[in-house]
Amino acid sequence: MPETTPTTGPLPRIGFGTAALKGRHGAETIAEALRTGYRLIDSAFNYENEGAVGAAVRSSGVPRDEVIVTSKLPGRHHAHAAALESVEESVYRTGLDHLDLYLIHWPNPSQERYVEAWEALIEARERGLVRAIGVSNFLPEHIDRLVEATGVTPAVNQVELHPYFPQDEQRAYDASRGIVTEAWSPIGRANEMLRDPLLTRIAEGHGVSVAEVILAWHARLGVLPLPKATASERQRQNLAAIDLELTDADVEAIASLARPDGRTHDQDPAVYEEF
């Protein structure tokens, strides 16, 4: 029976995305999100903002043990020693004594080193540097290889997921293995989806914004969305959205928006790689 990886406990239903939030302004924005009520902060080594995340956690007044601080391993550091050093470096950069969740950022299949990176994350967890480990942008075939090689199932798989790209198969795969699916770019980086006529009609029916409908849809599917928002009013609106109840008819209608080529930036993890 393969070992499964528990998370640090139940995860919140929504988290806060921090890509491009850095420096003092970034730290203040992230601290505001914590004070607003977000309890999962998503970052990455490559966002170059782990320092701002740590400063925000320390200045927010929110008890450290209530916050899930997440970071991610870059593609250029998949080799075992480099991966462990990256985790150590992430912890130093936050100024915290551990991180709560650490993900492999992209599988980068042509490098063929994501299993090695996974073994390093297992070691980082055993050493107490991180509490739980997972992956991002992994396809079922990539996760199968991790589990076959190590017996350890990722706690989380963070993927692009929004109404134009709902990832039905990936969600079903993750759910069947007890893996929490997180959504990056949950509102499509505020692209034309926020003006979609069907979503606009549903939003008007509930007296809310399109962003709220989209985030409520994520929550309804059991997906943990990670919206980024700078303005505190939007932070509040997005957080409240997970309590909005969509009707079955809303959910069925939103399913019709799926597009095979619905990714915002054509980043298919079978071929797209980041370093």
CB-wise, 40 or 187, nearer to ligand A2P? 187
Catalytic residue among 47, 102, 164, 173: 47
3-state SS, residue 2: coil
Query: 10 Å Cβ neighbour count for 134?
Result: 26
The residues of the shown chain that bind ligand A2P, judged by CB under 6 A, are 17, 185-190, 194, 209, 211, 227-231, 234, 237-238
Element (H, E) at 248: helix 248-255
| Cα–Cα distance, 28 to 63 (Å, whole number) | 17
Active site residue 38: no
State residue 108 phi and psi, 5-degree precision: 45, 65
CB-wise, 230 or 247, nearer to ligand A2P? 230
Distances (CA, A) of 71 to 67, 130, 206, 249: 13, 10, 35, 37
270 Cβ neighbours under 8 A, 6+ residues apart: 109, 139
| 135: β partners | 104, 157
Q: How far is the CB of 163 from ligand A2P (least distance, A)?
A: 12
CB-wise, 60 or 238, nearer to ligand A2P? 238
Q: How far is the CB of 221 from ligand A2P (least distance, A)?
A: 16
Q: How far is the CB of 254 from ligand A2P (least distance, A)?
A: 16
Strand segments (E) across the chain: 16-17, 40-42, 68-73, 99-104, 130-136, 156-160, 180-184, 224-225
CB-wise, 194 or 242, nearer to ligand A2P? 194
Q: How far is the CB of 161 from ligand A2P (least distance, A)?
A: 10
Point out the residues that are catalytic.
47
